Amino acid sequence: MITFRATLNVKIGVLIMLLSAAAFTWTYFMPLRSMELFIPRISLGLMGLGGFLIMLKDFLEPLEKIAEPPREKILPYLAGVPAAMWLYGWSFRNIGLLTSTFLFLTIWWAWISIRDAKRTDSLQSVTPKILKLAALALVITASVQVLFIELLSMYMPRTFLP
Amino acid sequence: MTVKKVLFVLLALTLIFSLGIMAGCEEPAPEEEPEEPEEEAVEEEPEEEAVEELEDIEIDIVVGFAAGGSNDLSARYMAEKFADYGIMANVVNMPGGMGTEAAYHVSTQSPDSNMFMWAHPLIMLFEPAAGDRGFTIHDFDPVALLASPTFCIGSRAGAPWEDMDDLVQYIEDNPGEVTLGGQGEGNMMHFIAELILDPDELDYTYVGLEGGADVAMNLTGEHVDVGHLSLAAARPLHQDGDLTVLVNTQILVERDPLMPEIPNVIEFGIDAQEPHPLALWGPKGTDPALIERLSEAMSQMADDPELIDNYEGAGMIAHYLDTDETWDFFMDVEENMIPRFKEWLEEYEARE
Amino acid sequence: MFDMDAMREAFFVVFALDTALYIMIGVIVGISVGAIPGLAHSLPIALVLPFSFVLPIHQTMGLLIGTYKGGTYGGSITAISFGTPGTSGAAATVADGYGLTKLGKGKKALEMGLYASVTGDTLSDLALIFLVVPIGMMAPRFGPAELSALYFLALSLVIVFSTENPGKGILAAGVGFFLAIIGRDILTGGLRFTFGVRYLEAGFPLVPLLIGFFAVPEIIKKIKEVIERPDDSGVIGEAAEKLLKLKEEGLTLKEFLASWRGLGLGTIIGTLLGALPGPGATLCSYTAYSVTSQFSKDVNYGKGALEGVATAEAANNATCGATFIPLLTFGIPGSSIAALLMAALIMQGIPLGPRVVVDHTVVVYTLFLLLLLANPFNLLFGKILIPVYSKLTRIPAAILWPVITLVLVIGTYALNNRPFDIVICLIAGVIGYFFKWFKLPDGPLVLSFLVTPLFEANFRQALTISRGDFTYFFTSGISQVLWIVTLATIILFVRKRRKTDADISGN
């Protein structure tokens, strides 16, 4: 028995079907020979089929058995964390490994500590805590330098700061 | 508490590491020391002062392939020798895009970065001719040429032909029967293979395998009849009777000292020697004095019996061309081969 | 065949203090670097390569083999402790290993990983020593047609992962296929789906992709927890608060032996697949892992079963010995690490090839003994490091995870000195997060990503050789057997699935 529902699963399934169908059509306008496009077309076909089956499953199964993906607020983190990681990757290559490692760790820990302190109303004891963490950051920075530069002789572009 | 413990362990580990590495480094020191004065004292009396005046420099030699291949080995042997001339050379591996990613990287460096590219015509000329790779040979200054890997054509064990002439005859007599396994399709290696056996005249099947090891494996397993691979990989299999080397395609000398009994392809009147020699390149505008110093060191290396031996073991011949000769060699390839390659590529892309 | 004198000579060379020292350094370096996410252990091997210029062969090879084995094992440590595989070979360990850590059984999992690694490794070394000739002779008989059949068999394992929700399994496999074909065509060099981005021409490299896929979602999750629920995010694992005071229990012999299926299958599959050029440790462990899932009696398999850890770890370490099989019989390196080991031997003046066993018998025996001797060292240092890592998991998340994150970023870059690898790692991370959120299985993605390039190349080569004749795929005995096994596997899995379905509805 088929019941048409617009669950999140179905929406994503349809979206995937549309995307793969579009890409599949696009392969016919590519300047590649058919042998080179053989596996890509299979892969797009599979994605489309997968999307279709996901959609179909929600149509066929009784409502109580459908497992919806969680509706949490994740987008800011999904964008923010990789962005921060990329920024760190950029900064250690262009500003300096030591400087950026130390700054990233210290800023993060300082921010977390201050937030924590505000929450628990212990702002007066936050400074020594941050200092301790900054010292820890220094130690980690030093280990990173020893590990990657001294021992693994990682290739580093010449940077502005150490 | 736990944090402290962890830090302590990290520190301890670091200590063990550095001790270990130092222990490793200590060994070479006594071996190297007696070598240096010996060499310089015997031959380079007048030049020694000049060498001493020059301070030690550090350079990076970028290799466009992963560590362990012949490309990488040749650079490492060279880097080891550079140390004798006060040049501390680090080999940096940047694999990707048949070496073109590394070449692109070096081409974008400033001329005073002391970074050099270890590259053959495949990277410098053929790849940029096949499509935009972000650089051309004219973004570089040559230093010198030092190594030339030898490639060869081998046939499977028990093949009914003895040499190149027989093979050609056999293909003519048995159209469509012979399969040639090469390294990839639509690249320089494929182009050379088709120069040797012209598909317009000979009816055989070319199959692009993934690399030298793959070709050796398929020849040994008799999945292909003829293969195009490096001489170093083919030699042990040849000696064991798993395959037969027919000709080598070395461009700089006719017979490779590794297997002097194997004729050069030119001896069969086939003009398809492979332009594969490796040269050192700096970004355009590199200090000529530095280039000269490196080139001078390389010229002396080329006569070093140890390097010659090492190169031979890895299937390469040590052959020095100075800065101008290197440029002329590459320009000759650019003028004579690249137009043919481009033409061939167009024709190849039209095939289906 | 067996040369007693050579064996004696090799024995005295290997069982000496200096050799032991170098193996020890190698194992420590290997485990430590293997446990850094993003850095594959080919990096330290490449780093110690220059030493082969100056050290005698038993020391160099002791160092390299120690690094290789330590690194292959080391990847599992972070996979189990933080769900962040240290090497791509440990990706299959994440599901069960990290699952156990979350249940507060991290120490058990770590110990199982170590014992399974050492067991699989030792058995595979023994297989190498006794079977190098027969297995070696088989390898070249796998041509493009046979390999196509073999890889098709591996791809059919995707079905295993897809039984619960076929749509999601197929979608995951499709994504894996697609990621694998981005970049330059392996044979023709044509650019596929690179969207004009120069860096994409090299495709998605395995290590940044897998590390990003598994590690970045975990990082995102942890950072989110730290920011949103600062009180609960002290340590890993929901039950960990209580466990802080409890002493964690180690693995018992009974538990170890109960995983005999996983250990056995892992070792066998790791050794056989590892002996072929191409597959590598990651594919071996995933294949073994999925095969064992069909035979395991543990209901938690895939969520936190010791047997899962045992299988994956036995399989990836079993490739260590097996890698040497094609290397010693034909001088053909089957993986990037094998190529490095081969380079080290060439630098020592040992040309590898079919005659190496005859011409350099002592060297070959030395290698065998070094391989065996490295295992106890691996066991010893693994044992020392386990308490350290099981304690590391108890560091507050707000402190621990930023450090892991930064090390991951540097490690990813350091492996190939490619800044773009970081971007690939992050893209893979976003895909990985989507997979986690939408509950897509990761097995089909990894399997199809790994097998696709191998399958595609061999399939197309076979078609070229046969000039488009499809019967070529079924001509040799090996391929016929493989196709029959594939068919049988698919039928078996489908029937098993029907049976489980019937059981569920029957209840």
Q: Residues B336-347: pLDDT tens digits? A: 999 999 999 988
Contact A39 C177 (CB under 8 A): yes
What is the structure's pLDDT at B352?
62
Contact C351 B236 (CB under 8 A): yes
Tell me: do A94 and A129 sit in the same domain: yes
pLDDT of B351 above 90: no
Contact C417 B210 (CB under 8 A): no
**Distance, in angstroms, between A33 CA and closest chain B CA?**
7
Last residue of some domain: A26, A46, A65? A65
Tell me: do A80 and A147 sit in the same domain: yes
Contact A155 B113 (CB under 8 A): no
What is the structure's pLDDT at C163?
67
The answer to whether residue C284 is domain-embedded is: yes
The answer to whether residue A43 is domain-embedded is: yes
* φ, ψ (nearest 5 deg) of residue C404: -55, -45
Tell me: do A52 and A103 sit in the same domain: no
Lowest-confidence range among A149-158, C183-192, C234-243, C402-411?
C234-243
What is the structure's pLDDT at B246?
94
B20 — pLDDT class (breaks 50, 70, 90): very low
The answer to whether residue C296 is domain-embedded is: yes
**Interface mutation target, options B1, B2, B3, B114, chain A, most CBs of A under 10 Å:** B3
Classify C310 as helix, strand or coil: helix
pLDDT of C142 above 50: yes
**Distance from C-alpha of A70 to C-alpha of B106, rounded to nearest angstrom:** 47
Lowest-confidence range among A144-148, C54-58, C160-164?
C160-164
**Distance from C-alpha of B298 to C-alpha of B319, rounded to nearest angstrom:** 10
Q: Does B16 touch chain C (CB under 8 A)?
A: yes
Contact C55 B176 (CB under 8 A): no
Tell me: do A79 and A142 sit in the same domain: yes
**Interface mutation target, options A15, A43, A49, A98, chain C, most CBs of C under 10 Å:** A43
Tell me the mean pLDDT in the region B315-326.
92
B8 — pLDDT class (breaks 50, 70, 90): very low
**Do residues C99 and C300 touch, judged by C-beta distance below 8 A?**
yes
Tell me: do A143 and A80 sit in the same domain: yes
What is the structure's pLDDT at C429?
93
Last residue of some domain: A41, A65, A89? A65
Tell me the mean pLDDT in the region C276-297.
83
**Within its chain, how far is the Cα of B6 from the centroid?**
45
Q: Does A65 touch chain C (CB under 8 A)?
A: no
Closest residue of B to A36, CA-based?
B352
pLDDT of B184 above 70: yes
**Interface mutation target, options C53, C357, C393, chain B, most CBs of B under 10 Å:** C53
Closest residue of B to A138, CA-based?
B7
C-alpha neighbours within 13 Å on the C-beta side of residue C50: 21
What is the structure's pLDDT at B278?
95
Looking at per-residue pLDDT, the higher value among B250 and A153 belongs to B250
Tell me: do A37 and A86 sit in the same domain: no
The answer to whether residue A116 is domain-embedded is: yes
Tell me the mean pLDDT in the region C62-88.
88
What is the structure's pLDDT at B263?
93
Between β-strands B151-156 and B226-230, what pairing exists: parallel, antiparallel or unpaired?
A: antiparallel
Domain count, chain A: 2
* φ, ψ (nearest 5 deg) of residue C165: -145, 90
Looking at per-residue pLDDT, the higher value among C39 and B98 belongs to B98
**Distance from C-alpha of B310 to C-alpha of B302, rounded to nearest angstrom:** 11
Considering only CA atoms, give the Rg of chain C: 22
pLDDT of C338 above 50: yes
Nearest to A46 among C36, C39, C174 (CB): C174
CA angle in degrees (0–180, nearest 5) for C392-C396-C402? 85
What is the structure's pLDDT at B207?
93
pLDDT of B48 above 70: no
The answer to whether residue C500 is domain-embedded is: no
Beta strands in chain B (DSSP E): 57-63, 87-93, 115-119, 140-149, 151-156, 179-183, 205-209, 226-230, 243-248, 278-283, 316-321
Nearest to C168 among A54, A133, A140 (CB): A54
The answer to whether residue A1 is domain-embedded is: no
**Distance, in angstroms, between A36 CA and closest chain C CA?**
7
Computed over every residue of chain B, the mean pLDDT equals 83
Task: Dump pLDDT digits (tens) for B71-119.
Answer: 888 999 999 999 999 999 988 888 877 888 899 989 988 898 899 999 9
Lowest-confidence range among B74-83, C65-74, C148-157?
C148-157
Q: Does B76 touch chain C (CB under 8 A)?
A: yes
The answer to whether residue A141 is domain-embedded is: yes
Task: Dump pLDDT digits (tens) for C215-241.
Answer: 899 899 888 888 887 765 554 444 444
Tell me: do A91 and A128 sit in the same domain: yes
pLDDT of C21 above 80: yes
What is the structure's pLDDT at B149?
92
Contact B237 C339 (CB under 8 A): no
Exposed e or buried b per residue across C71-86, where buried means at least 16 C-beta atoms within 10 angstroms of its C-beta: bbbbbbbbbbbbbbbb
Contact C409 A89 (CB under 8 A): yes
Tell me: do A37 and A89 sit in the same domain: no
The answer to whether residue C483 is domain-embedded is: no
Tell me: do A89 and A147 sit in the same domain: yes
Instruction: Give percent of chain B with pLDDT exceeding 70.
Output: 84
Instruction: Give percent of chain C with pLDDT exceeding 70.
Output: 92
Contacts of A106 in chain C (CB under 8 A): none
Domain carrying residue A101: 75-151
Instruction: Give percent of chain A with pLDDT exceeding 70.
Output: 99
Q: Which A residues, 86 through 125, put their C-beta within 8 Å of a C-beta on chain B?
A: none
The answer to whether residue A2 is domain-embedded is: no
Tell me the mean pLDDT in the region B2-29.
42
Closest residue of B to C187, CA-based?
B184
Q: Does A24 touch chain C (CB under 8 A)?
A: no
**Distance from C-alpha of C339 to C-alpha of C277, rounded to nearest angstrom:** 11
AA identity, residue C426: L
Q: Does A105 touch chain C (CB under 8 A)?
A: yes
Tell me: do A91 and A49 sit in the same domain: no
What is the structure's pLDDT at C291?
86
The answer to whether residue C202 is domain-embedded is: yes
The answer to whether residue C491 is domain-embedded is: no
Neighbours of chain C (3+ CB pairs under 8 A): A, B
Contacts of A158 in chain B (CB under 8 A): 113
pLDDT of C353 above 80: no
C377 — pLDDT class (breaks 50, 70, 90): very high
Q: Does A104 touch chain C (CB under 8 A)?
A: yes
Computed over every residue of chain C, the mean pLDDT equals 83
Looking at per-residue pLDDT, the higher value among C245 and B340 belongs to B340
Domain count, chain C: 1
Nearest to C187 among B3, B176, B184 (CB): B184
Domain carrying residue C314: 4-141+197-417
Q: Does B209 touch chain C (CB under 8 A)?
A: yes
Tell me the mean pLDDT in the region C24-28.
90
**Distance, in angstroms, between B262 CA and closest chain A CA?**
37
Contact A151 B21 (CB under 8 A): yes
Q: Does A146 touch chain B (CB under 8 A)?
A: yes
**How many helices (H) and strands (E) are present in chain B, helices listed first?**
15, 11
**Distance, in angstroms, between B130 CA and closest chain A CA?**
15
Contact B352 A151 (CB under 8 A): no
Task: Dump pLDDT digits (tens) for A66-109.
Answer: 777 887 788 889 999 999 999 999 999 888 899 999 999 999 99
Tell me: do A17 and A49 sit in the same domain: yes
Last residue of some domain: A24, A42, A65? A65
**Do residues C124 and C320 touch, judged by C-beta distance below 8 A?**
yes
pLDDT of B30 above 70: no
**Distance from C-alpha of B63 to C-alpha of B67, rounded to nearest angstrom:** 8
**Distance from C-alpha of B203 to C-alpha of B179, rounded to nearest angstrom:** 10
C161 — pLDDT class (breaks 50, 70, 90): low
**Distance from C-alpha of C392 to C-alpha of C425, rounded to nearest angstrom:** 24
**Distance, in angstroms, between A25 CA and closest chain C CA?**
13
B319 — pLDDT class (breaks 50, 70, 90): very high
Contact A155 B92 (CB under 8 A): yes
Contact A151 B3 (CB under 8 A): no
Tell me: do A19 and A59 sit in the same domain: yes
Looking at per-residue pLDDT, the higher value among B119 and B3 belongs to B119
**Distance, in angstroms, between C115 CA and closest chain A CA?**
28
**Do residues C180 and C162 touch, judged by C-beta distance below 8 A?**
no
Looking at per-residue pLDDT, the higher value among A40 and C330 belongs to A40
Residues of chain A with pLDDT under 70: 1
Tell me the mean pLDDT in the region C382-408.
83
The answer to whether residue C46 is domain-embedded is: yes
Contact A146 B18 (CB under 8 A): yes
The answer to whether residue C484 is domain-embedded is: no
- C73: tokens are 């094992």
**Distance, in angstroms, between C430 CA and closest chain A CA?**
7
